[in-house]
Homo-oligomer: A and B are copies of this chain.
């Protein structure tokens, strides 16, 4: 079953989308068109469509501001800025990874070409800084600085991901570090930047950061499981998508480093560069399961979620904010299961 989207996520989307649309309208027409398509607002010709992303990160930013005692409206520029950085990274990652589908649609580079997609990503990233620095929130400078660092960490995570493609000896620790940088950093930033912008106390910001890092890892583990066993209706990608692209995801690396005959067989299957036959893909998925890669990732996701909850329990915040944070964390780790 597909988990129900938490109400705070739906509300965040309604609040942040006008801010995002105003921001994207500052871009030149070509770049704005690619960005609008990528954000799910328009079709390739620029006509309006009604889809759009889930606004998970904006919802976390708003909750984070509320945790520090602010109102949702106060943290919308930060919420929009985090979403812009997220959109930028997906746009560029799709080019680098050669991913042709994104949210059930052809990815932007396949529609507009690589140059326009590179440029649209650059434009979205520049808008993030622009928005955040216009904000009147007391901690906006610290927030903008934090977002720059998260962006640098995103880049570092993607760099490791690219490097792993060329290596056959990736350890589980390295893979976890990559996931922490690539997914955990921006999620940790989303969970804490509202409190930072609000000038909230350092222990609150630290606890929210730790919550976001752990929730981010749980999310990545879930996403990696979906990348193998998720149905195309949920993931918007072909079945066994991550095996097809030989991605060194966490469950795959757990299987490869299991020290089992199945792990060696899996390494052999993933070693070549020719497209894998459907039978090989099925066997690879079975091997990840048989060698314990799947159950390890499922257990690890639960542990990470528990750790995230403990960090949240460490600090004071309004009860409804805490409940909504947990609601989103559970949603992140239950999509499509």
Contact = CB atoms under 8 A, between A and B. Distances in A.
A162 B122 contact: no
A119 B162 contact: yes
Nearest to A181: B28
A118 B119 contact: no
A159 B112 CA distance: 12
Interface stretch (A7-15, A142-150, A195-203, A238-246): A142-150
A31 interface: yes
Interface stretch (A66-74, A99-107, A123-131, A316-324): A123-131
Q: Which of A29, A130, A148 has the most CB of B within 10 A?
A: A148
Nearest to A134: B145
Interface in A105-163: 114-116, 118-119, 121-123, 125-127, 129-130, 133-134, 140-141, 144-145, 147-149, 151-152, 155-156, 158-160, 162-163
A145 B125 contact: no
* Most B CB within 10 A of own CB, among A121, A158, A160: A158
B115 A155 contact: no
A145 B130 CA distance: 5
Contacts of A140: 141
A27 interface: yes
A150 to B, nearest CB: 9
Contacts of A310: none
A96 B123 contact: no
Contact of A92 (B29, B119, B145): B119
The 4 closest A-B pairs by CB, nearest first: A28-B156, A126-B151, A130-B148, A96-B115
Interface of A: 26-31, 88, 92, 95-96, 114-116, 118-119, 121-123, 125-127, 129-130, 133-134, 140-141, 144-145, 147-149, 151-152, 155-156, 158-160, 162-163
